Structure 1
Amino acid sequence: MKFQGYVRADGLVGIRNHTLIMANGRGAANLAVLLSKLVAGSRFYVQPNENGRDAEDRGTIARTLVGLAKNPNVGAVLIVGNKKNSGYPEFSYEAIVGEIEKCGKPMDTLFLDSCGGFQQAVGLGLRKARLLAQRASECVRSEVGLGQLHMAVKCGYSDATSGMSGNPVVGHLFDRLVDAGGTAMFAETTEVIGAEHIVAKRFPDPAERRKFLDAVARVEEEARSTGEDIRTINPIPANIQAGLTTLEEKSLGAIAKSGTKPIQGCLKYGEIPTGRGLYYMDSWMSSTALFLGFAAAGSVLNIFQVGGGWFPNDAMMPTHNTGLVTPTLYMTGNPRMYEKGAQEMDFSSGTVISEHEPIAQAGERLLTEVLRFASGRVTKGETLDIYDNVEMYLRGPGL
């Protein structure tokens, strides 16, 4: 099976061709936002404030910046900042720009202290960004195999149908992708608790298995340190209203989205896999944080598998692009959810329940749709130009 993708200089394949304008430091945020509004086809990202963050969080921020710029959906990059070198070492010119340059895509930089101030920077930045956008457009789609695709999935607002039809259908898709030589990622450390022993058995590497189990134990201990049992916080109210009763029940349904293949590694948030296959990412459950982390790790298409706990009454589902450079495919395994949100949903596997469709058959339908989106068809979320605040999974305190 094949799709039409953008083959980059480093051999990775994207499904979109954005120009990314990225602020290395909060001081250049307004410049990045303004330039992105003026340059067609561009996206912007402004990092969280690094001041007062511990070394682990600074490393996470820097890793996410570099990974986002390296994402194959990015055709060109403009880095804007206050100074070429200032602040913590994690954000030095070599640590950020030097690492991004290694992937070989068109890029440039702009620093406020060397161009005469903000107004002059706007003019110079506009010239640079427009040139980069034009250079990015020189890369055209070509036919590649399914094994060149890198995808990720999150499930949310889960109900019983998530474990019965929604997540298993994604699992079939992931099995097909991994068998073809592609890369797939899943995550949410809070939502494997109670089923971690099942997931752990799928790590062939004992060291990676230990990293995974340590991540689960850390989350449980962090919850206890607040004086609360995580099982009184998760399932969230929406899950309970939709019929789920325990975290273990929720986790058993959630892990079905990973399919059945061996898990090659346990990644840090925003960490790029070293090879192909199935990977687990240690992350929080928030969709904005998780989709950003997936994009920084190289995912070119994210899936949000939604249960029936999104809204109780007929309403339009909020649509947003939380992956910044990575589109999100919204799907559900709940027939009633799809009926309510059909205008915003890209795919329904609720037919597994309503029409007794085999999971494998629904999975093949999903694979067909994925290849269409990978070849250029836009998701319903991409038809709206909405900016949604994007979180990052930072664990340390502000000091």
Structure 2
Amino acid sequence: MKFSGYRRPDGSVGIRNHTLIVPNGRAAADLGVLISKVVAGVKIFVATNENGRDPQDRATLARTLRGLAMNPNVGAVLVVGLTRNGSHAEFSEAAFLEPIRATGKPVETVFLDECGGFDAALAQGVRKARGLLVAASRARRTEADLGDLTLSVKCGYSDTTSGMAGNPVVGNVFDRLVAAGGSAYFAETTEVIGAEHLVARRFTDDGERKEFLAAVARVENEARELGQDIRSINPIPANIAAGLTTLEEKSLGAVSKSGTSPIQSCLRYGERPACRGLHFMDSWMSSSVLFLGFAAAGSVLNIFQVGGGNFVKGCMMPVFTAGVVAPVLFMTGNPHTWEKAGEDMDFSAAPVLERHASIEEVGSRLLEHICDIASGELTRGETFNVDETVEVFLRGHCF
């Protein structure tokens, strides 16, 4: 199966061609935002302040911002800052800027201390951003193989149809993608509890397996330290109203979205893997958190597989730009959800539940639709001009 994408100098293939402004620290974000308001068509992501954060969180913030710039969907990058080396070592030129340059895509910089002040930096930033837009626009789509894709998935508002139809269809797609040489990410550490032993068996490396099991244990222990039982917090009320009864039941349905392929590694949030294949990302369950982390790790298309819950009542907003540079494909295996919210969704796996088609047949249809989106067809969420508030998954302390 083929699609038409943007092949980057480092060999990766994107499905969109964005020009991205990246601050090398929160203090320079206002400069980037003003540039983005003047120059049409550029994107920017503003993260929380790295100052006062512990080293783990600073590393996560830097990894996320740097990863977004390195994403194959980004054709050109403007890095802005107060100084070339940022306010912390994690944002230094060597740690932050050089990996972005190593992708070979057009990269420009604007630093206040080198421009002589804010007004001069703003003028220079506008000029450079416009030039980058033109440079990125010269890229042309070329034929690419299925194995050039990197996809990711999150499930949400899970119900009984999630584990019976929607998630298994995604798992079928992931198995085909990995077999073709592509990469796939799944996550949500809270959503594997009760089924972690089944997931752990699939890791190819003992060290990575231990990292995964340690992440699961950490979540349970953190809940206990707060006097909570994770199994009484999750499933959430919407899951229970939609028919799920226990966390184990929810997790068994959730992990089916990963398919059956061997798992290569347990990634930190926003971490780019060392090899192709299927990977687990240690993260929280929030859609905006996950889609951002997936994009930072290199995913070019996020899949949001939803069940019922509030969708059946027609009272939930669609996902817009939570991946910043990576669009979101919205799908469901619930026929009632599709009926209520179909205008805001991209794909229905409900024929599996209705016994009109097999998981394999619907998986083929989803894969064809993914290749259409990869070749330029817009997702429903991309038709909205909305700057969604997007969070970064931080676990440390503020000082």
Corresponding residue for residue 310 of structure 1: 310
Corresponding residue for residue 253 of structure 2: 253
CA deviation string 1:305-327 (max 9, x = no partner): 01101335234633311000000
- Asked whether the equivalents of residues 8 and 72 of structure 2 are also in contact (C-alpha less than 8 Å), the reply is yes
User: How far is 1:118 from its partner?
Assistant: 2.5
Corresponding residue for residue 244 of structure 1: 244
- Aligned with 2:392: secondary structure? coil
- Aligned with 2:305: secondary structure? strand
Percent identity between matched residues is: 63
- Aligned with 1:46: secondary structure? coil
* Alpha-carbon separation, structure 2, partners of 1:39 and 1:331: 33
Equivalent runs, 1:208-223 vs 2, <5 Å: 208-223=208-223
- Asked whether the equivalents of residues 312 and 340 of structure 2 are also in contact (C-alpha less than 8 Å), the reply is no
In the superposition, the TM-score normalised over structure 2's length comes to 0.98
CA deviation string 1:147-171 (max 9, x = no partner): 0000000000100000000000000
Letter in 1 for 2:147: G
Determine if the alignment matches structure 1 residue 195 to structure 2 residue 195. Answer: yes
* Alpha-carbon separation, structure 2, partners of 1:388 and 1:192: 27
31-40 or 126-135: bigger deviation: 31-40
Corresponding residue for residue 366 of structure 1: 366
* Alpha-carbon separation, structure 2, partners of 1:325 and 1:45: 9
Corresponding residue for residue 27 of structure 1: 27
Letter in 2 for 1:289: V
User: How far is 1:204 from its partner?
Assistant: 1.7
Segments of structure 1 that go 5 or more residues without pairing to the other structure are none
CA deviation string 1:287-320 (max 9, x = no partner): 1111010001000000000110133523463331
**Aligned CA distance change for structure 1 residues 264 and 300 (closer, same or farther; 3 Å):** same
Aligned positions, number: 399
User: How far is 1:41 from its partner?
Assistant: 2.8
Letter in 2 for 1:156: G
Corresponding residue for residue 7 of structure 2: 7
* Alpha-carbon separation, structure 2, partners of 1:315 and 1:126: 40
- Asked whether the equivalents of residues 5 and 144 of structure 1 are also in contact (C-alpha less than 8 Å), the reply is yes
Equivalent runs, 1:166-185 vs 2, <5 Å: 166-185=166-185
Equivalent runs, 1:376-395 vs 2, <5 Å: 376-395=376-395
- Asked whether the equivalents of residues 315 and 341 of structure 1 are also in contact (C-alpha less than 8 Å), the reply is no
Corresponding residue for residue 114 of structure 1: 114
Corresponding residue for residue 146 of structure 1: 146
* Alpha-carbon separation, structure 1, partners of 2:284 and 2:391: 10
* Alpha-carbon separation, structure 1, partners of 2:225 and 2:139: 51
User: How far is 1:259 from its partner?
Assistant: 0.4
User: How far is 1:137 from its partner?
Assistant: 1.1
**Aligned CA distance change for structure 1 residues 188 and 316 (closer, same or farther; 3 Å):** closer
Segments of structure 2 that go 5 or more residues without pairing to the other structure are none
Determine if the alignment matches structure 1 residue 265 to structure 2 residue 265. Answer: yes
* Alpha-carbon separation, structure 2, partners of 1:45 and 1:79: 11
* Alpha-carbon separation, structure 2, partners of 1:112 and 1:239: 49
Corresponding residue for residue 351 of structure 1: 351
- Asked whether the equivalents of residues 24 and 47 of structure 1 are also in contact (C-alpha less than 8 Å), the reply is no
* Alpha-carbon separation, structure 2, partners of 1:122 and 1:88: 23
95-104 or 170-179: bigger deviation: 95-104
In the superposition, the TM-score normalised over structure 1's length comes to 0.98
What RMSD in Å do the two structures reach over aligned CA positions?
A: 1.2
- Asked whether the equivalents of residues 24 and 86 of structure 2 are also in contact (C-alpha less than 8 Å), the reply is no
Determine if the alignment matches structure 1 residue 397 to structure 2 residue 397. Answer: yes
- Aligned with 1:303: secondary structure? strand
**Aligned CA distance change for structure 1 residues 332 and 133 (closer, same or farther; 3 Å):** same
- Asked whether the equivalents of residues 171 and 258 of structure 2 are also in contact (C-alpha less than 8 Å), the reply is yes
- Asked whether the equivalents of residues 20 and 69 of structure 1 are also in contact (C-alpha less than 8 Å), the reply is yes
